[in-house]
Amino acid sequence: MNPSKVERSRVHRLTDLPNIGKAGAADLELLGVHAPEQLLGKCPFEMYAALCTVTGVRHDPCVIDVFMSVTRFMAGDAARPWWDYTPERKQRLQATEPRA
């Protein structure tokens, strides 16, 4: 759902979450997440790695941004567009890359 349309009190299904549509909800379900509250305490980077493992495909890293947006939202942060998290994701991944 578009983050500007999300009302926290009306979040009951995965597709009620910011930045989650049918495809995103299907990805979350593959990870065993069937309700928004199941996102509490989840690590978006671990979720991404698990999704890649489960599907056998390396997904676009922007999926991490989406996972960051929903885990943070469920932790109490405001609903924000997924791309707001791109700089943080890039910085964190760069910090963990092995140096040559």
* pLDDT (tens digit per residue) in 89-99: 999 998 887 66
pLDDT above 70 for 9: yes
* CA–CA gap between residue 47 and residue 33 (Å, rounded): 10
Q: Read off the amino acid at residue 50.
A: A
pLDDT above 70 for 82: yes
* pLDDT (tens digit per residue) in 38-67: 999 999 999 999 999 999 999 999 999 999
DSSP output for 31-74: TT--SGGGGTT--HHHHHHHHHHHHTS---THHHHHHHHHHHHH
Q: Which helix (H) or strand (E) holds 30?
A: helix 22-30
- Helix 62-74 to helix 22-30 angle, to the nearest 10 degrees? 80
At 100, the pLDDT band (50, 70, 90 cuts) reads low
Q: Residue 86 has which token pair?
A: 């791109």
The reported pLDDT for the residue numbered 99 is 63
